[in-house]
Structure 1
Amino acid sequence: MTSLTEKTTTRSLSVSKIPQEAFDWYDEYAHGDIDRRTFLSRLGTLSVTGLSLSVVANALTPNYAQAEQVSFNDPDITASYLEFDSPNGHGRARGYLVIPNNVNADNKSPAVLVAHENRGLNPYIKDVARRLAKAGFIAFAPDALFPLGGYPGNDDEGRAMQKTLDGNKIEGDFMDAATLMKNHEFTTGKVGMVGFCYGGYLTNALAAAMPDTINAGAPYYGTPAKSNIDKIKAPLQLHFAELDQRVNATWPEYEKTLKANKVDYKAYIYAKANHGFHNDSTARYQEKNAELAWQRTLAFFKENLNA
């Protein structure tokens, strides 16, 4: 059992003490390329002075108690769950809806769809939705795991659950969520989208599949859409981590296609950052880069959704 001292050490652990191999192995583990036993076995081969295996492992895996920046009790916003019909997806879906308290049918706001990673609607993603609402946007974060009962409370189980679902139906759920936000009585009809990891892929995919619905897309370390890239109309602001070899390998060809189709895009690569650097619940988090990326994202949405 991890002691209180170890847990405290885990959260204050300097990223510089964790070898890059550990981050790379965690990325493989988080994306299903290796199982947990293999991940821990590899960590056990490292020599990290003064740090136990459990401390390093716990530093790399999420602790969502660390990730709340905007409380669900914040007086400026109202958060709730909203179920909706999803004929293009699983038939019925649910998401986390956060509305600024000054927004209503007479004072409308643009909407931003928030797409989670490959493990369902975890607390970090809900906090991102609250951050957007705090900045003045209506935010809606669907949970791909709703057909299976929703995010189960831990990422390992959530990852395994999401892997069993039909990816096309997940995309359909998010597409129907985008349409819902476009037509919501409190929105201006403008819809942006931000996503992380798998959600970054979804952001690219919906920009390509719904060019008349998605008005701005900000994928974080996401792979390209599989089709219809030539249909993209929305401006894109893409965020990449310098050390994220897996995702970055897909960027040169994607960029070439965006250029060929005259898509308005801006790509940022954050120095010495790992995949997941925006997620403030693990040691991969880099506050300076995360805050810079987020301020760029908010400015991007304000510019393109408020026009």
Structure 2
Amino acid sequence: MSLKTEWITFEQDGSKHRLYTARLERAKTPLPVVIVIQEIWGTDAHIRDVTERFAKAGFLAVAPDLYAVNGDRPASMTDERIEQIKAFLEALPPPSWHDAEAREAALANQPEKAREELRATYADVFANLKRLPQLLETLQATVSYLEGYELSKGQKAVSIGYCMGGALSLMLAASEPRLAGAAVYYGHLLGKEQIAGIQCPVVGFFGELDGRITSHVPEFAAAMQEAGKSFTYEIYDGAHHAFFNDTRGAYHAAASRDAWQKTLAFFTRVLA
């Protein structure tokens, strides 16, 4: 199975954007599109791997680099710096991630240069949780670009996002009528006022032990039904947040396997 992967750039409304793209080399183009939306860690090796998995399933898969500014990453959010902060945080209990005192205690054990780099990267990466409207603009620009892109022109597009990207996948569905479907993996859900804008089917996948998000699923499902929207979902027993990320301790093989199969079936149906 031969894949064609590459980074491409495009300009939209005076801004330059960057996409990681993957497709089967022998697939006849144009192809239906899966837009893969990153976790807070960016278009890292895991997200690029997931993008390639969708390409192997016969789609043109693209992962927008939401942290690129005019096509380039800021120094504090290069791949190397993000891997550094990921390794640091993965060694801490999850409650410490957002506990400044606990983080500082752990940082005290780092060399001075690494300590300053970790502080800067942490601040810049997690600040993106307050920049979702700006990140959404990049996704909207991507949808517009793909309409005329030679490898996807005339084809439908869907979105899928993980964690922060899950929230963005829903936000894109609520703001982009050209989307044929949206999938959310353990991302924050929308309020009633935003649901009205959703015009495509939505599917969600959640972990039973991810209470801060999963506890809101029944309310969201009821609001979607009341608004006449299509929403189906799975909550996996024994699964934590980020259960699909096979580079992290929360990975849950059975939940991931089932979610992957259901996601492919959903995309195949709405992209037909």
For Structure 1 versus Structure 2, the TM-score category normalised by the shorter chain is 0.7 to 0.9
Q: Is the 8 A contact 2:161 2:183 kept in 1?
A: yes
CA distance in 1, matches of 2:24, 2:144: 20
CA distance in 1, matches of 2:237, 2:48: 27
Alpha-carbon offset, residue 300 of structure 1: 0.8
Alpha-carbon offset, residue 205 of structure 1: 0.4
CA distance in 2, matches of 1:273, 1:128: 19
**Match of residue 83 from structure 1:** 9
CA distance in 2, matches of 1:294, 1:121: 19
**Structure 1 unaligned spans of 5+:** 1-74
CA distance in 2, matches of 1:263, 1:126: 31
- Measured at CA, do residues 203 and 164 of structure 1 come closer, stay the same or move farther in structure 2, by a change above 3 Å? same
CA distance in 2, matches of 1:192, 1:151: 27
Identity of aligned residues (%): 28
What is the TM-score when the length of structure 1 is the normalising length?
Answer: 0.69
> Structure 1: which 4+ aligned runs deviate by more than 6 Å?
none
Alpha-carbon offset, residue 242 of structure 1: 0.4
1:99 partner SS: strand
Q: Is the 8 A contact 1:126 1:141 kept in 2?
A: yes
Alpha-carbon offset, residue 172 of structure 1: 0.4
CA distance in 2, matches of 1:151, 1:175: 23
Bigger shift: 254-263 or 127-136?
Answer: 254-263
Q: Deviation digits for residues 192-221 of structure 1, max 9, x if unmatched?
A: 11110000001100000002x210111100
Q: Is the 8 A contact 2:132 2:168 kept in 1?
A: no
Give the number of equivalent residue pairs: 227
**Structure 2 unaligned spans of 5+:** 86-117
CA distance in 2, matches of 1:159, 1:240: 26
CA distance in 1, matches of 2:122, 2:212: 18
Aligned counterpart in structure 1 of residue 194 of structure 2, from 228, 237, 243: 228
Q: Deviation digits for residues 214-258 of structure 1, max 9, x if unmatched?
A: 101111001123553112111111001000011113323221221
Q: Deviation digits for residues 236-283 of structure 1, max 9, x if unmatched?
A: 110010000111133232212211111112110011000000000122
Alpha-carbon offset, residue 175 of structure 1: 1.2
Q: Deviation digits for residues 126-159 of structure 1, max 9, x if unmatched?
A: 0000000000000000111112336432342665
**Match of residue 134 from structure 2:** 169
**Match of residue 256 from structure 2:** 290
1:138 counterpart = 2:60: yes
Bigger shift: 190-199 or 153-162?
Answer: 153-162
Q: Is the 8 A contact 1:242 1:272 kept in 2?
A: yes
Aligned counterpart in structure 1 of residue 20 of structure 2, from 84, 93, 96: 96
